[in-house]
């Protein structure tokens, strides 16, 4: 039978504060939803009132006119709209997350299980890169990517994201270090080579961890607009489209109610993703992997 925690003044006060915090988040979303259903006149009259009627015109304007960006296409210019931005977001977020998880998993496995001098050296280098703050390397990265022809292409972005110097390296490293060698030895007795051991034994054992880390990176890159702004200037993602929409002075789009509706349009897929995967996203990253 679970022990009940003793109620103290501290827990009551913190509980109330958390309640206020949750209320403030809910209030913000409700406020945005109600104002997205108002006409421009209703919004100008008052932002703290309920809409007179449910007006979905803002969503129609936002969806069909809000997300548009002019980009170069060869020697001409063309417009990119929300469907294409959505596709680019999938390519950027999905491809970037896949690259990052792959590189991180591989590097962690090699340094954890192949304990030579180089592995120890790389492990140390990775730790140092995580705590050493490097400021202002972006100009240099732009210049190098320009020189290599990697800027403005998904290949360039995938190269950029195929890195392993992130906090999840430590989590993968810990997972591989704590794995007993029995699995690999049994596989080698059966004639498996190192590639087969990694792809058919070790990788499935960390598949849950890979999935969770992939989700975390996917969400991070889905919400990122500054990197695509610089490195994918002709392939605008949804977040960048939303930024341009927010800053637009176009008469049809400059109404706050339309911009709020645009924000809700982009919010919905993420909300669904979060509600479906919230246990995985908020769970303990160290769990999962080996079955006991």
Partner 1 sequence: MKEPLWQREADAVPEAAEPSPAVAETQGDYLSAGPPEAPARGEKKQKKQSKAGARIFYWVMFALPLAQFLLCYVAVNFNSILLAFKETFVVRDAQGVQYVSEFVGFDTIWRFLSVELTSKVYTVAVKNSVIYLVFSIAVVIPVGLIFSYYIFKKYRFAEFYRVFLFLPSVICSLIMVIFYSYLVDLSIPEFWQMLTGTRPEGLLTTKATAFGALVFFSFWFSFGPSSLVYVNAMSQIDPSVLEAAELDGAVGLRQFRSVVLPMIFPSITSYIIICVAQVAVNQLNGFSFYGTGASDYEAQTLGYNLFAVLQGAEQNRSYSIAAAGGIVLTLIVAPLTFLVRWLLEKFGPSED
* Residues 202-221 close enough to bind partner 1 by CB under 8 A: 219
Distance CA 229, CA 227 (A): 5
Between 78 and 117, how does the x/- string for binding to partner 1 read (CB under 8 A)?
-------------------------x--xx-xx--xxxx-
- Give Cα 241 to chain centroid, integer Å: 16
Closest CA to 228 of 241, 220, 237: 237
Structure-block tokens of residue 92: 């950027």
Task: Determine if 10 is a binding residue for partner 1 (CB under 8 A).
Answer: yes
If you count them, how many residues does the chain have? 292
Q: Are 169 and 108 a contacting pair, CB within 8 Å?
A: yes
Task: Determine if 20 is a binding residue for partner 1 (CB under 8 A).
Answer: no
Task: Determine if 16 is a binding residue for partner 1 (CB under 8 A).
Answer: no
Closest CA to 238 of 261, 267, 216: 267
Task: Determine if 1 is a binding residue for partner 1 (CB under 8 A).
Answer: no
Task: Determine if 125 is a binding residue for partner 1 (CB under 8 A).
Answer: yes
Task: Determine if 237 is a binding residue for partner 1 (CB under 8 A).
Answer: no
Distance CA 129, CA 132 (A): 5
Q: Which of residues 156-175 bind partner 1 (CB under 8 A)?
A: 159-160, 162-165, 170-171, 173-175
Distance CA 233, CA 222 (A): 16
Structure-block tokens of residue 171: 């989590």
Q: Are 179 and 156 a contacting pair, CB within 8 Å?
A: no
Backbone torsions φ then ψ of 123, nearest 5 degrees: -60, -45
Q: Minimal distance in Å, beta carbon 51 to partner 1?
A: 14
Task: Determine if 291 is a binding residue for partner 1 (CB under 8 A).
Answer: no
Q: Which of 14, 60, 252, 290 binds partner 1 (CB under 8 A)?
A: 14
Q: Which of 18, 60, 72, 290 binds partner 1 (CB under 8 A)?
A: 18
Backbone torsions φ then ψ of 70, nearest 5 degrees: -85, 130
The stretch among 51-59, 60-68, 69-77, 130-138 that binds partner 1 (CB under 8 A) is 130-138
Q: Are 236 and 69 a contacting pair, CB within 8 Å?
A: yes
Q: Which of 6, 74, 249, 292 binds partner 1 (CB under 8 A)?
A: 6
Between 80 and 108, CB nearer to partner 1: 108
Task: Determine if 292 is a binding residue for partner 1 (CB under 8 A).
Answer: no
Task: Determine if 19 is a binding residue for partner 1 (CB under 8 A).
Answer: yes
- Give Cα 83 to chain centroid, integer Å: 19
Task: Determine if 200 is a binding residue for partner 1 (CB under 8 A).
Answer: no
Task: Determine if 69 is a binding residue for partner 1 (CB under 8 A).
Answer: no
Between 34 and 87, CB nearer to partner 1: 34
Structure-block tokens of residue 183: 């699995």
Q: Which of 181, 200, 207, 290 binds partner 1 (CB under 8 A)?
A: 181
């Amino acid at each position: 039978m679970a022990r009940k925690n003793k109620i103290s003044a501290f827990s009551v006060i913190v509980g109330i504060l958390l309640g206020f915090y949750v209320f403030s988040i809910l209030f913000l979303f409700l406020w945005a939803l109600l104002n997205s259903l108002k006409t421009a006149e209703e919004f100008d009259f008052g932002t703290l009132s309920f809409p007179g009627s449910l007006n979905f015109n803002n969503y129609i304007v936002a969806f069909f006119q809000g997300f548009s960006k002019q980009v170069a296409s060869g020697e001409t210019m063309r417009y990119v709209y929300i469907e294409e931005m959505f596709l680019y977001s999938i390519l950027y977020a999905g491809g970037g997350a896949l690259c990052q998880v792959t590189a991180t998993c591989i590097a962690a496995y090699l340094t954890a299980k192949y304990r030579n001098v180089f592995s120890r050296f790389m492990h140390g280098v990775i730790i140092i890169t995580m705590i050493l703050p490097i400021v202002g390397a972006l100009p240099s990265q732009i210049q190098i990517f320009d020189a290599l022809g990697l800027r403005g292409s998904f290949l360039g972005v995938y190269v950029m994201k195929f890195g392993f110097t992130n906090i999840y390296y430590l989590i993968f490293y810990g997972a591989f270090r704590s794995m007993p060698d029995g699995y690999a030895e049994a596989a080698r007795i059966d004639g498996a080579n190192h590639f087969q051991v990694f792809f058919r034994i070790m990788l499935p054992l960390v598949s849950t961890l890979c999935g969770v880390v992939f989700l975390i990176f996917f969400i991070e890159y889905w919400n990122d607009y500054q990197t695509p702004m610089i490195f994918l200037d002709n392939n605008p993602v949804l977040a960048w489209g939303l930024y341009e929409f927010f800053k637009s002075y176009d008469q049809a789009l400059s109404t706050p109610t339309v911009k709020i509706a645009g924000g809700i349009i982009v919010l919905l897929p993420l909300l669904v993703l979060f509600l479906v995967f919230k246990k995985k996203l908020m769970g303990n990253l160290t769990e999962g992997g080996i079955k006991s």
